[in-house]
Amino acid sequence: GRVLVLNGPNLNRLGTREPDVYGTGTLDDLRAELATAAPAGVVLELRQTNDEAELIAWLHEAVDTGSAVILNPAAFTHYSYALRDAAALVTTVGLTLIEVHLSNPHSREEFRHTSVISGIATGVIAGFGFGSYRLALARITGAL
Ligand code: DQA
């Protein structure tokens, strides 16, 4: 199967962005870690964009190609109804979409306590750094 690992705004700055919160690993490090963790036959594609429209187009692509999705919506998590509706397209056709966060948004500022995505996601994993993605991948590939 195919798995899209989609990352929203500012996650291209991983490594130098608030390392106390997000760690020192870069997006390339994450890509390498997931590639190593993926079982044979799983086609993994990790992408990042700062553009809401592009992220929405990638979710449409997941529907059209029957791909499972690991989604870190970043700040869009907290307010993008357009992203929520696009993510709902994925889960309503029966594809798995797991919302992931590096940090635990619930232990941070008030505005991060709300996710408009969680209600339509298959599941949510937060607070484990790159481990959040690895847990999501394990679930999608049947190891969990
Ligand atoms: C984040 C948490 C969000 O609140 C924040 O806006 C991010 C990253 C995380 O992975 O912990 O950009 O999604």
* Domain extent for 127: 2-140
* Dihedral sign, Cα of residue 30, residue 132, residue 51, residue 122: positive
Ramachandran region, residue 69 (left: φ > 0; alpha: ψ -120 to 50; beta: rest) = beta
Q: Is 103 annotated as a binding residue?
A: yes
Instruction: Give the residue-averaged pLDDT of 111-124.
Output: 98
Which residues lie with the beta carbon below 6 Å from any ligand 1 atom? 10, 72, 74-75, 77, 101-103, 105, 112
The average pLDDT across 1-17 equals: 95
Q: Are 83 and 76 in contact (CB under 8 A)?
A: yes
Q: What is the CATH number of the domain that holds 83?
A: 3.40.50.9100
Query: ipTM of this model?
Result: 0.99
The mean per-residue pLDDT over the stretch 37-51 comes to 96
Residues 60-102: pLDDT tens digits?
999 999 999 999 999 999 999 999 999 999 999 999 999 999 9
Note the pLDDT of residue 1: 78
Would residue 60 show up in a list of annotated catalytic residues for this protein? no
- Specify the ligand 1 atom closest to the Cα of 126: 11
Atom of ligand 1 nearest to the CA of 8: 12
Which amino acid is present at 90? V
Residue 11, phi then psi, degrees to nearest 5 = -75, -10
Task: Output the pTM of the full model.
Answer: 0.98
Shortest-distance Cα residue to atom 13 of ligand 1: 74
Catalytic site includes residue 22: yes
Q: What is the mean pLDDT of residues 46-63?
A: 98
Exactly one of 101, 106, 113, 133 is catalytic; name it.
Answer: 101
- Quote the tokens at residue 13: 């700055």
> In 9-116, which residue ranges form alpha helices assigned H by DSSP?
19-22, 27-37, 52-65, 81-92
Task: Measure the CA–CA gap between 71 and 81, rounded to whole angstroms.
Answer: 15
Q: What is the pLDDT of residue 139?
A: 98
N-term to C-term CA, the chain:
16
109: confidence class by pLDDT, cuts 50, 70, 90: very high
Question: Taking the CB of residue 81, how many other CB atoms lie within 10 A of it?
Answer: 10
104 CA distance to ligand 1 middle (Å): 8
Report percent pLDDT > 70 for the chain: 100
Task: Choose the weakest-confidence range: 13-17, 47-51, 119-123.
Answer: 13-17
What is the distance between the alpha carbons of residues 98 and 132, in angstroms, rounded to a whole number? Answer: 10
Ligand 1 centroid – CA 91 distance (Å): 22
Strands (E), the chain: 2-7, 43-48, 68-72, 97-101, 123-126
Q: Give the number of domains in the chain.
A: 1
